[in-house]
Every structure is written in structure tokens, then in C-alpha cells.
Amino acid sequence: VVGNALSREQAEQWVIDLGAGSRTSRILFDSHRDLIYVTDFGNDQVIVVSPVERRVISRIDVGKRPRGMSISIDSRVLYVAHSGEPSIASIELDSGAVTKHPVPSLYDWPVEEPYYPWEIAVANERLALLSSNPPGFASGGPLYGVDLRTFEVAPRNDMRDQDGYPLRGARSTMQISRDRTTIGIIPEYAVSWPQLVRYDTANDSFFSVGSRDARDIWLNNNASRMISANVIAPALTVYDQDLRIIRPIELTDSPALGLAFNPAAPKYVYALAYTLQEVRLDLGRQTRLIEYQAPEGYLHGPFHSMAMSDNGEWLYTPLTLTAEVPPGKLLAVRVGPPRPADYLAPVSQMKPLAEAQARNWWELSWTGSDDVSGVDYYAVEYRTGEKGDWKLRATTTDTNALFTGATPAQRYDFRVYGVDVAGNIERYPDGAETTTVAGADTSGLSKTFLPQLGAW
Ligand SMILES: [Ca+2]
């Protein structure tokens, strides 16, 4: 970890009381309406907060002990998982009309009692994933799929670890990428080690990797990067879209419970424990670690749920007086200026190479563009043959680079991805974008310099 300097900042912030008996569970920012929804398991309500007016504007009665929330693709319906009864609610957000849908089939070995819903994540127009939990425990029941047209609930026994053992529901979290391609899941401890799971919306399929220490997971806008919080140590881990570890990140306080990417500046990551810390990842270096001070007399955590405004200006978390008292307040911290709406990564493409090279060096070139903030840099990767691991060759603001020192007769594959100024990272293509075979001629090479900034 490089440049891990901590600074403490007293940012602009405001606190609102969520009302008598309120117990904050999850917080969700509705970017369509600029409203914040808070599930309150103390009063069995969804609390609606206007961040503009900085007050509670309505309270919606739902079922017992509401917990997870997820918003429909068309932003018209909010689904709520009730952890105190076998049902979920759908709330028509424009009218406030609430419909309760029983989910009677949540029984499974080894608990004799029914499992109740816990977290819910809308994958597409038709399907939501629903995790379950036995009442009074936080140990995780099976994962279910909910048909959003009929509200039929069916077990998802296809969420399995690498050895094929079925995994059980989410311990604490299911996070949806902004582009809705991916849901990141941390299942309950199972037969095997704890796992990180990626659910692909397009393929309706799960992909798992082992992880000894994951607690929360968060995805950037297009799920090209995922971050998990270490359950034991004050540390985070950055993964790529295939859940390969890219790098660790050290925090300075206790292990984080909650995580968030800044949607408008996804190079900024927030980790919530007893303190709130901001990590700035820039060109592969951890350039800054900021600790936001809680308002006097309060503690930041430890809580799981965080939400951010669409423009990346405000971060919302639960707030409490002591670690023993459940949170009944909402804290808003201003973590930066409002930012332009840049949620899409650059699009780039390698230009095709000749099938074979005469020399053992050649020029690579590519094209690329970005919609709003512009391309910050490109990362060029290569592998030797189809089975080789991808390796970073260069990060550069240019659209060409020399590839030198190749082994004659060796096949080389290339791919490129772009990172925009806001910090959106393009997803890798599945395979090579261009391929060539190296020659033996070493003559003619006048420069060997390859720019190297370090990617993340
Ligand atoms: Ca962009």
C-alpha cells in the first residue's frame, strides 16, 4: 500500500432524528426522485427523507421488521423484505400504495421454523433475488428468486461454491451495480470457506470465489471493480470483474462494516466502522485516506448501510450515541462538490495487428473515447497464448505504445481498457482484441520507453 497518509476532516454535515422508537436498518438513495428511504424496524415503516428539505417527509407502514430494499428497473416500485414475517412489500412510489406479498415457502433444513426474508435485490424487470434468515438469528437461510409479476418464490439452489456445494443466503449484503449487470453477494458461511459471489443479470447465473474474510461488498457503476471489507482486519480488497484480487487497501481503524463507491467519482471509496474513512484510489496508488469526524457526542457506527447521492456530494449513514444503542438518526456528510453525471466508462478497442511480426518489437495502437469527463488513461494488457495470465504492459494517456523484447515465435494476445477522469473503469473484453506472433529480428528499435502509471 502506497501513500497511506491519513488526514482528519471536519466536513459539512447534518443530522436528522428519524422519530421515536426508530431503528435504522438499510438506507437507499432514490436517484429518480432525490429522496432517501430508510427501513425502520423499530416502527415497521419505510421512512422517506427529503435531503433538500433535510427532514422526514413521510412514513410508510409496511410489514414486521423491514430490512432490505431494492427499487424496480423503471424506478416506480420499491420492494421491501420483512425480516419479522414471511412476506415482502411492494410500494408504488408515486402513490404510496403498499401491497403485501406472502412468501410462504421459505422452509429449509435444519431450522424447523420458517425462514423470513432478509435482503432483496432487483435483477431485472422479472426477477429479484431474496435472501432469508431464521428469526432471531443472523445465520442465513437459502437464497430465493422472486418472480416480480406473479410474486412466486422459488429456491435458487444454483448459487454454489467452486466445489459445487450449495451456498446459503446473504449474510448481510447484496449490492447491485448501477448498470444492473451484476449483483455482488456475500453468502452465509457454508461447507466451504466464505465466498464472494457475482450474479450476472444477463445470464441469470452465479460465479463464486473463495474469500476468507469478506463482510461487505460493493460494486462500481459497471461492476468492473468490486471491493470487499475484511471481517477481521481494518482492510479492504479490490477485485476485478472476474473476482480476481487486484490489490489490498489498508484502513486505520476497526474492520469496516459498510462500503460505498462514489457513483459520480468512483475512484473514491468510503468505509464505515466506528469512523468513516474515505480512500482515494488514483492511478494505482492509494493517494489519500481521509477520516470524517462524527458530530460531537455521536459515533459513526458500526453499521452496514450507506447510501450516496447521485452527484457524489452527500453520503448518508445511520448515526448513534453509543455502540450499544440502535441508531435512530440519519447523518449526511458532504464528501465533496457535486460532480457531473459521469457513470459510464470509456469505450476503447485495440487496432488489429498483423498475424505475424518480422521483428521482436512492434507498435500497438488503439482507439477510445469517453462520454463526459474524458479518458484519463488506458491500460494495455498482454498474455502469451490463450492460457496465459493477463499482465499489465503499460498505462498511458497516448493511443499507441511500443511492445518490445518479445520472444521469437511466441504468440501474444492484447487487450486495452480505458479509465475516465471520474474514475469509471471499462470492463475487460472476454478474450483478446488482437493477436500476433513475434519475429526474431531485433533491429531498428530506437526507443524502449513505455509509459507506466499503474492501474487499479
Ligand atoms: Ca465516462
Whether the CB-CB separation of 313 and 339 falls below 8 Å is answered with yes
Instruction: Give, rounded to a whole angstrom, the gap between the first and last alpha carbons of the chain.
Output: 12
> For residue 101, how far is its CA from the centre of ligand 1 (angstroms)?
39
Question: What integer pLDDT is reported at residue 140 of this predicted model?
Answer: 74
Amino acid (one-letter) located at 297 = G
Residue 425 CA to ligand 1 centre (angstroms): 9
Q: What pLDDT, on a 0 to 100 scale, did the predictor assign at position 192?
A: 59
d(CA 178, ligand 1 centre) in Å: 13
345 CA to centre of ligand 1 in angstroms: 5
Cis bond upstream, residue 110 (ω within 30): yes
Which tens digits make up the pLDDT trace of 100-122? 999 876 776 666 677 899 999 99
CA of 78 to the centre of ligand 1 (A): 28
Question: In sequence order, what are the residues at sequence separation of 6 or more whose Cβ sits closer than 8 angstroms to the Cβ of residue 109?
Answer: none
Quote the cell numbers at residue 286. Answer: 492509494
Residue 124 Cα to ligand 1 middle (Å): 23
* Burial class, 19, CB count within 10 angstroms (exposed 0-12 / middle 13-18 / buried 19+): middle
pLDDT value for 165:
86
Q: State what percent of residues in the chain have pLDDT above 70.
A: 90
Q: What is the pLDDT confidence band of residue 1, given thresholds at 50, 70 and 90? A: very low
Residue labelled with grid coordinates 480512500: 279
pLDDT in tens, 191-230: 557 789 999 999 999 999 988 778 888 999 999 999 999 8
- How far apart CA 378 and CA 92 sit, in angstroms, is 43
CA of 271 to the centre of ligand 1 (A): 24
**Per-residue pLDDT tens over the stretch 4-19:** 456 777 789 999 999 9
SS3 content of the chain, % helix, strand, coil (to 5): 0, 50, 50
Average pLDDT, the chain: 89
9, 24, 130, 257, 303 from 275: Cα distances, Å: 12, 18, 30, 10, 10
Using alpha carbons only, give the angle 110, 115, 117 rounded to the nearest 5 degrees: 150
Give Cα separations from 429 to 20, 182, 405, 417 (angstroms).
Answer: 52, 16, 25, 8
Q: How far is the CA of 265 from the centre of ligand 1 (A)?
A: 10
| Ligand 1 center to 336 CA (angstroms) | 19
CA of 417 to the centre of ligand 1 (A): 13
Q: Please give the distance, rounded to the nearest whole angstrom, from the Cα atom of residue 310 to the centre of ligand 1.
A: 14
Quick one: average pLDDT of 284-303? Answer: 77
pLDDT at 313 over 80: yes
pLDDT at 52: 96
Residues in contact with 136: Cβ distance below 8 Å, sequence separation at least 6, in sequence order:
none
